[in-house]
């Protein structure tokens, strides 16, 4: 069955809806970091702010500018992010040509700006080591890759490529339908979700880090 032939409602039903309930059970951490990582701190410091990244974007420029201007995050999520404490840094490996980056980074950046989280973006040329140690659910290096650092520079969380509900669905769908159909489902999800899933997952990552919880929940293989 081709996902491109399904209605949007059917695609979203397969994805579990646009507003999945928070998940309390997590997979084993993908990365374990014992303490502060000066390389990650240096990489974060070298990155661009989100406004500077958008200003420099060439590929998908219209989409980046539109979402940078229009992205909205639920105030309740912002308050939860603030309650997770201060001093967080978020390192993002992204590239302007990537649709997943364009459809999620603006919402994460808006949340971070409102909650006081310092976001910096680096390109894959500089961020490749981060991608290598934070691979996608099916083993690829991917953009965007988000790595959460605490005030000391210790790694405390990650999100790789897509919101969890989407990456689990896409990982399973790649073995069943054409790549075009998978991409159609991904586009439909982003159009309907409007950043809700990635903003919620970012907040849950902050909350887990504040509790000393798992570092990185990549999701479950199909």
pLDDT tens per residue across span 149-206? 998 899 999 999 999 999 889 888 888 988 899 999 999 999 999 999 999 999 999 9
* 195: alpha, beta or left? (left if phi > 0; alpha if psi -120 to 50): left
pLDDT of residue 139: 85
- Confidence at residue 38, expressed as pLDDT on a 0 to 100 scale: 86
Supply the CATH classification number for the domain 22-162+193-210. Answer: 3.40.30.10
pLDDT for residue 214: 67
Cis peptide before 144 (omega within 30 of 0): yes
Residues in the chain: 222
pLDDT at site 25:
27
Cα torsion 101, 102, 104, 107 to 10°: value is 130
Instruction: Give the model's pLDDT for residue 10.
Output: 53
pLDDT at 221: 59
Q: What's the whole-model pTM score? A: 0.83
Query: In this predicted structure, what is the pLDDT of residue 174?
Result: 84
Site of tokens 């700006």? 113
C-alpha span between 106 and 198 (Å, rounded):
10
Q: How, if at all, do strands 89-93 and 145-149 pair? A: antiparallel
DSSP state of 84: T
Q: Residue 8 is encoded by which pair of tokens?
A: 């949007």
Residues lower than pLDDT 70 in the chain: 1-36, 214-215, 218-222
Q: Please tell me what DSSP assigns to residue 27.
A: P
């Amino acid at each position: 069955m081709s996902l491109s032939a399904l209605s949007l409602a059917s695609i979203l039903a397969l994805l579990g809806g646009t507003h999945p309930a928070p998940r309390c059970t997590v997979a084993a951490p993908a990365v374990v970091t014992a303490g502060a990582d000066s390389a990650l701190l240096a990489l974060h410091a070298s990155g661009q702010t989100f406004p500077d990244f958008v200003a420099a974007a060439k590929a998908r420029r219209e989409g980046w500018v539109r979402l940078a201007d229009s992205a909205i995050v639920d105030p309740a999520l912002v308050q939860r992010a603030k309650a997770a404490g201060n001093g967080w840094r978020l390192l993002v490996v992204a590239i302007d040509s990537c649709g997943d980056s364009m459809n999620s980074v603006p919402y994460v950046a808006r949340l971070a700006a409102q909650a006081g989280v310092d976001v910096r973006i680096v390109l894959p040329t500089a961020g490749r080591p981060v991608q290598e140690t934070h691979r996608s659910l099916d083993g690829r290096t991917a953009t965007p890759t988000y790595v959460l650092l605490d005030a000391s520079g210790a790694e405390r969380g990650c999100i790789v490529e897509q919101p969890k509900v989407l990456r689990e669905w896409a990982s399973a769908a790649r073995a069943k339908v054409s790549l075009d159909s998978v991409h159609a489902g991904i586009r439909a999800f982003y159009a309907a979700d409007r950043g809700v899933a990635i903003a919620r997952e970012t907040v849950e990552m902050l909350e887990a880090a504040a509790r000393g919880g798992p570092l990185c929940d990549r999701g479950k293989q199909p």
